Amino acid sequence: MELAFTEEQFQEAWKELDERALPEGWELFTETMGIQIYRLYDQKTGLYEYKIYGGLADCPAELCADVYMDLDYRKQWDQYVKALQEDRNGEDKVIYWEVKYPFPLSNRDYVYIRERRDLDVTGRKIFVILAQSISVPHCPEKSGIVRVNGYKQSLAIESDGSNGCKVFMYYFDNPGGMIPSWLINWAAKSGVPNFLKDMQKACKGYATKDSSK
């Protein structure tokens, strides 16, 4: 299995930190706590793609990237994680992730690959993480859990010149099943900023954890 990410995708992600790529069709969905969320309607699926721009104070860029990549630590701070583990599929690492959904909805799960690159862009250190869903025989669908397909995510992180970081995130998935539109809107409008707030807290906890070693 070949890695699915191209050099161009990494370049596109970090460039969003400098100049937002929001061609016609993208609309400002919500703005809160210094975070702006844009969305684009996808005709094929009837769902939205999202782009998030913002920053995390008191969260250095490399630390933020480390926290995001640390699956074991995420199980401690992300209350929606039901299961999260990494398996090898040949040379590549495949991640299995089950997300808790509120009753009466079924939990969702993801099978995906990801790659992190630490880029040097004319002296700027930028961390880019790409992820996308994949189908592999050793992670079949489970009864009672809805498999999410079409998951794609890009994340670019750079220092804000102080002790925090600038963040760009692109996100799309198809949660499947009969989820009311109000819940999908709530997840984007409330869930994303809350996730970034949790990330901020996790960064502080991670720094404390490392310094106590």
Q: How confident is the model at residue 209 (pLDDT cuts 50, 70, 90)?
A: low
CATH class of 7-19+27-211: alpha beta
Beta strand 124-133 with 146-147: parallel, antiparallel or unpaired? unpaired
| % of the chain surpassing 90 pLDDT | 58
Task: Work out the percent of the chain whose per-residue pLDDT is above 70.
Answer: 91
Does residue 174 contact residue 150 with C-beta atoms inside 8 Å?
yes
Tokens encoding 131:
């992820």
Cβ–Cβ < 8 Å for 33, 193: yes
Amino acid 211: pLDDT: 45
Phi then psi for residue 211, to 5 deg, are -75, -15
What pLDDT, on the 0 to 100 scale, is given for residue 71? 94
Q: What pLDDT, on a 0 to 100 scale, did the predictor assign at position 212?
A: 43
Per-residue model confidence (pLDDT) at position 74: 94
pLDDT tier at 90 (50, 70, 90 boundaries)?
A: low
What are the Cα distances from residue 207, in Å, to 66, 109, 140?
A: 10, 29, 37
The Cα-based distances of 9 to 40, 78, 123, 146, 160 in angstroms read: 19, 27, 20, 28, 22
CA atoms of 120 and 122, how far apart (whole Å): 6
Name the residue ranges covered by the structural domains of the chain: 7-19+27-211
Q: From CA 30, how far away is CA 27, in angstroms rounded?
A: 9
Tell me the per-residue pLDDT of 32-42, one tens digit each, with 9 for 90 and over.
878 899 999 88
Mean of the pLDDT values across residues 169-176?
Answer: 87
The beta strand positions in the chain, using DSSP E, are: 27-32, 35-42, 47-56, 81-89, 92-99, 108-121, 124-133, 146-147, 149-159, 165-174
Residue 1 clears pLDDT 70, i.e. is over it:
no
Residue 175: predicted pLDDT: 81
- Residues in Cβ contact with 97 at an 8 Å cutoff, skipping those fewer than 6 apart: 81, 83, 84, 109, 110, 111, 112
- Residue with the larger pLDDT of the pair 110 and 43: 110
How much is the mean pLDDT over the chain?
87
Could you read off the pLDDT of 114-162 as tens digits, one per residue?
A: 999 999 999 999 999 999 999 888 889 999 999 998 899 999 999 999 9
